[in-house]
Homo-oligomer: A and B are copies of this chain.
């Protein structure tokens, strides 16, 4: 059996990935970042894995906050997909339900869904497709198939599946039980007893999943069905109805369905899989130098071994250390032992409790029109670098507490101030007095870059009155 148009990939791209902080943050989580070589984000690699291979049109389920980056990264691949926006996080059961309901509409007369995480890495693409083919063929017999991974080490970072005695064909087994992340000793026992890793990727017949949701998680299914029924098409997005979706319980598909259903199955496979869940697992899948180091960006290391060092900006140096993770970004630095790397999640939770912006937000804030980044701040002033893509248009807006100076350093700006439109070119400056109604637009063919100097008694991001917005944000 070859993949068929009735196999519809559902890509789950709404997660946050705090264990890869400070690179991965709520405002731009790991699936959208180029963490591996090849110039693609993990999300894009996932999309590419299933596009042009004979599958149906992908359904991407993501968070409303990630709609522009999702669309941008799909556009960069030249791929069309259905982008479904969750108004808030309800964990994976609700996302699976939404995906299955949309797949049911897409594939007349049923069909099979291939549910994929968007933040995993797969080394052996052929092995992956082979496993998908086998799992889908078993799924067609009415099983909800989990892609299990044959362990190559006693990982304490993954949940395990104990395969059952029933042979489902294609080498697949029934499921005896799911178990949580074990300690090392338990993990060794699991491996000896034939357990496999739970990869969190599934294949199932649409109707079977919907039936099992109806049986074991009716609240989730009902909320998802209403959210889909009342969804509106907003620009290119399927925007789920917020009130309906909010009614769904917050629960994972493992807890809601997989641990209860009698129709589960697991196919053990090996295809160089990792969930790159934390810095140590990312390091494990990377190529390393003769000292066991992986050095990325502006890094100098001496007398250092078995370490992962990544710099996004500042010169980063390491001296006389073994088995450490060092990650430096514009506004936050992480130094961890390799072993403690999963605890970064705890760290980020602590930072969030303390109300730290760095816990969830990057310095470079992506917007549908481009991005901006604060480069300086002080008493009564703030300086930003703003980049507007060709054709990008900021909202028509006004500030109550700050004036702005814009100095164009690249490209051409079309600036509207209180109704008057004027063009500014490189080395020209515009002044926007407090209270004026203004808009910035890039009418050109190259990026517009400008330095914005804000001066005023309050320079917070929330001092903005949006009067009109082409991206439906006002």
Which residues on A are within 8 Å of B, measured CB to CB? 22, 300, 302-303, 311, 314-321, 324, 326, 328-337, 339-341, 343-344, 346-347, 350-351, 354, 356, 358, 375-376, 378-381, 383, 385, 403, 405, 407, 409-410, 426-427, 429, 431, 449, 451, 453, 455-456
Report how far A427 CA is from B302 CA in the complex, Å: 47
Q: Are B311 and A380 in contact (CB under 8 A)?
A: no
From A347, A354, A431, name the one whose CB has the most chain B CB atoms within 10 angstroms: A347
Q: Are B321 and A335 in contact (CB under 8 A)?
A: yes
Distance of A325 from chain B, by nearest CB (Å)? 8
Q: Which of B326, B347, B383, B385 contacts A335 (CB 8 A)?
A: B326
Q: Which of B350, B385, B407, B451 contacts A300 (CB 8 A)?
A: B350
Report how far A405 CA is from B431 CA in the complex, Å: 12
Q: Are A340 and B427 in contact (CB under 8 A)?
A: no
- Pairs of residues from A and B, 4 with the lowest C-beta to C-beta distance, nearest first: A320-B340, A381-B409, A319-B336, A320-B337
Q: Are A328 and B331 in contact (CB under 8 A)?
A: no
Report how far A453 CA is from B311 CA in the complex, Å: 26
Q: Which of B302, B334, B407, B409 contacts A319 (CB 8 A)?
A: B334
From A22, A302, A317, A429, name the one whose CB has the most chain B CB atoms within 10 angstroms: A317
Report how far A329 CA is from B405 CA in the complex, Å: 29
Smallest CB-CB separation from A307: which chain B residue?
B335
Report how far A344 CA is from B318 CA in the complex, Å: 9
Q: Which of B316, B340, B354, B453 contacts A409 (CB 8 A)?
A: B453
Chain B positions within 8 Å of A315 at CB level = 22, 331-333, 351, 356, 358
Chain B positions within 8 Å of A314 at CB level = 328-333
Q: Are A337 and B351 in contact (CB under 8 A)?
A: no
Q: Are A335 and B332 in contact (CB under 8 A)?
A: no
Chain B positions within 8 Å of A337 at CB level = 319-321
Q: Are B319 and A341 in contact (CB under 8 A)?
A: yes
Q: Are A427 and B455 in contact (CB under 8 A)?
A: yes
Smallest CB-CB separation from A329: which chain B residue?
B314
Q: Are B431 and A347 in contact (CB under 8 A)?
A: no
8 contacts between A and B (CB under 8 A): A318-B335, A321-B337, A379-B410, A381-B451, A383-B383, A409-B453, A427-B455, A429-B431
User: Interface residues of A: mostly helix, strand, loop or mixed?
Assistant: strand
Chain B positions within 8 Å of A330 at CB level = 314
Chain B positions within 8 Å of A358 at CB level = 315
Given contacts A302-B346, A455-B409, A317 and B340 within 8 Å (CB-CB): no
Distance of A4 from chain B, by nearest CB (Å)? 47
Chain B positions within 8 Å of A405 at CB level = 405, 407, 429
Q: Are B300 and A316 in contact (CB under 8 A)?
A: no
Report how far A386 CA is from B148 CA in the complex, Å: 59
Q: Which of B335, B449, B451 contacts A324 (CB 8 A)?
A: B335
Q: Are A343 and B331 in contact (CB under 8 A)?
A: no
Report how far A22 CA is from B354 CA in the complex, Å: 28
Chain B positions within 8 Å of A375 at CB level = 375-376, 383
Q: Are B332 and A319 in contact (CB under 8 A)?
A: no
Smallest CB-CB separation from A340: which chain B residue?
B320
Distance of A401 from chain B, by nearest CB (Å)? 12
Report how far A108 CA is from B353 CA in the complex, Å: 68
A300-B351, A315-B351 known, 10 other contacts, Cβ within 8 Å: A315-B332, A315-B358, A316-B332, A319-B343, A321-B336, A378-B409, A381-B451, A405-B405, A426-B455, A429-B453
Given contacts A333-B314, A409-B453, A429-B431, A344 and B328 within 8 Å (CB-CB): no
Distance of A163 from chain B, by nearest CB (Å)? 34
Chain B positions within 8 Å of A431 at CB level = 429
Q: Are B376 and A343 in contact (CB under 8 A)?
A: no
Q: Are B319 and A333 in contact (CB under 8 A)?
A: no
Q: Which of B316, B320, B403, B407 contacts A453 (CB 8 A)?
A: B407
Q: Are B336 and A318 in contact (CB under 8 A)?
A: yes
Report how far A335 CA is from B405 CA in the complex, Å: 39
Report how far A317 CA is from B378 CA in the complex, Å: 24
From A335, A339, A341, A343, name the one whose CB has the most chain B CB atoms within 10 angstroms: A335
Chain B positions within 8 Å of A316 at CB level = 332-333, 335
Chain B positions within 8 Å of A303 at CB level = 340, 343
